[in-house]
């Protein structure tokens, strides 16, 4: 397995575990090795995911449980 594949696969694992800082670090290492669309896409998943997490949290804090559930379910698809 190449170092690039290792960084991408481990970054994906950390991303799905919710360890976004570690995932970001691993994806950045992959981009350093090969700055292409695949590595950049993996890295850009982090702010995309985080923005939906923040939106769900805002809905929960406002007492809008149904909207928060929709955001969470949409993210899981």
- Rounded distance, CA 59 to CA 52, Å? 11
- Rounded distance, CA 70 to CA 28, Å? 31
**66: containing domain:** 3-76
Residue showing tokens 């899981």 = 76
- Rounded distance, CA 70 to CA 64, Å? 10
The total number of structural domains in the chain stands at 1
Claim: this prediction has a pTM higher than 0.85: no
- What dihedral angle (degrees, nearest 10) is formed by the CA atoms of 28, 30, 36, 39? -70
- Kindly indicate the confidence band of residue 17, based on its pLDDT and cuts at 50, 70 and 90: confident
Please state the rounded mean pLDDT for residues 1-11: 85
- Please write the tens of the pLDDT for every residue from 28-59: 888 888 887 777 777 777 766 666 666 666 66
Read off the CATH number of the domain in which 55 is found: 1.25.40
């Amino acid at each position: 397995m190449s170092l690039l594949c290792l960084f991408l696969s481990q970054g994906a694992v950390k991303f799905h575990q919710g360890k976004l800082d570690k995932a970001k670090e691993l994806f950045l290492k992959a981009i350093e090795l090969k700055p292409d669309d695949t590595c950049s896409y993996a890295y850009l998943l982090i702010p995309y995911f985080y923005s939906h997490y923040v939106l769900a949290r805002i809905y929960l804090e406002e007492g809008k449980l149904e909207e928060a559930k929709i955001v969470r379910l949409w993210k899981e698809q």
